[in-house]
Amino acid sequence: MVNITQFANAKITAFVQLTNIFVKYYYYYLMNLIIVGTVAFDAIETPFGKTDKIIGGAATYISLAASYFTAGAGVVSAVGGDFPREYISLLNDHGVNTDGLEIREKEKSFFWSGRYNADMNSRETLTTELNVIDGFKPVIPGSYQGADLLMLGNLSPDIQISVIEQLTTRPKLIVLDTMNFWIENTPADLKRVISMVDVLTINDSEARELSGEYSLVRAARKIMDMGPEFLIIKKGENGALLFSGSRMFFAAALPLEEVFDPTGAGDSFAGGFIGYIARTGDVSFENMKTAIITGSAMASFCVEKFGTANLVNLSKASIYNRIQQFSELVRFTDIDIT
């Protein structure tokens, strides 16, 4: 027979559990992540085949990858009248808010096409048509204000700055992605936006270019001196490094049987990273490690099929299993040299 104290304890336990579930789901559905970047058309050619114009763009990959971890993401971008409504529905079906996606009926969407070489590590750009992104002035919807997290996908630094300046309260964490084009063409604007953010993500050659240092440890120190508390250096098939102060973490990339199309890998990485931060609400170095592994897992899914084909249809179980593979890949028994 259950006595009074046991009964009271059971009630308290049940209450605590329900509260936890409530907080978890409240947080999950709260609009707490703003994603800025292109929503666009891509046409891709690889040694395995080629696509017509398909949905692409940094904000597309970021928000699809993040959507598996939070229902509180909203996109800021612009598309032309030529952009199929079902592509927008695709984002909405993944729980992504598109209040901040401006549709300019009379203009054309951003379009990029490129061809990958046989090793899949290098590519040439065949076409870049800025179209609606040329002179784009983002407007942040009122419903987005107060978000905890801001993910600035690769775009011109002045657009990225304009977004930060429109926010009425500074997010708890601002993550910036950029690329060599801005390092070379708008260095002053780029340095300004870098000084405004908490996390910068760039690849290894860009880190070297930006810092003038070959050693990534030295490059990281110089770049963090420019402002960001955290720096993520992406090395493609060779993994990613997280730096903060004197701390360092390395996330291996999972060696894959076949890389089918690398397009969007970096953005899927960013999406998995910021999505996991959004889910956990934890911006500590320790939690960022797991977030980077999550990002690496999303990137590994991305490259297995053309464009977003693999990203749109993942199960929680497959994501969990993939992350376990990352965990097992680097696990070893401690040394005994006593």
Which of 66, 216, 299, 311 is in the footprint of a copy of itself by CB under 8 A? 216
Q: Nearest approach, Cβ of 109 to a copy of itself (angstroms)?
A: 33
Which of 108, 115, 218, 222 is in the footprint of a copy of itself by CB under 8 A? 218
Backbone φ and ψ of 157, nearest 5°:
-55, -35
Which of 36, 163, 231, 259 is in the footprint of a copy of itself by CB under 8 A? 259
As a whole number of angstroms, the longest Cα–Cα distance in the chain is: 77
Supply the DSSP string of 166-227, one letter for each residue: H-SS--SEEEEE--HHHHHH-HHHHHHHHHT-SEEEEEHHHHHHHHS-SSHHHHHHHHHHTS
Give CA–CA dist 203/189, Å, rounded: 19
Residues near 261 by beta carbon (within 8 Å), at least 6 away in sequence: 44, 46, 48, 116, 303, 305, 306, 307
Residues near 236 by beta carbon (within 8 Å), at least 6 away in sequence: 121, 203, 253, 262, 265
Q: Nearest approach, Cβ of 255 to a copy of itself (angstroms)?
A: 5
Backbone φ and ψ of 203, nearest 5°:
-90, 175
Backbone φ and ψ of 238, nearest 5°:
-105, 20
Q: Nearest approach, Cβ of 261 to a copy of itself (angstroms)?
A: 14
Length reported for the chain: 338
Give CA–CA dist 56/52, Å, rounded: 12
Give CA–CA dist 146/170, Å, rounded: 8
Binding of residue 251 to a copy of itself (CB under 8 A): yes
Which of 12, 16, 23, 256 is in the footprint of a copy of itself by CB under 8 A? 256
Binding of residue 108 to a copy of itself (CB under 8 A): no
Binding of residue 333 to a copy of itself (CB under 8 A): yes
Binding to a copy of itself by CB under 8 A, coded x per residue (else -) over 58-97, reads ----------xx----------------------------
Q: Nearest approach, Cβ of 94 to a copy of itself (angstroms)?
A: 16
Binding to a copy of itself by CB under 8 A, coded x per residue (else -) over 268-307, reads --------x--xx-----xx-xx-xxx-------------
Q: Which is nearer to a copy of itself, 68 or 111 (CB)?
A: 68
Chain residues in the site for a copy of itself (CB under 8 A): 68-69, 118-120, 214-218, 235, 238-239, 241, 248-252, 255-259, 276, 279-280, 286-287, 289-290, 292-294, 316, 319-320, 323, 327, 329-337
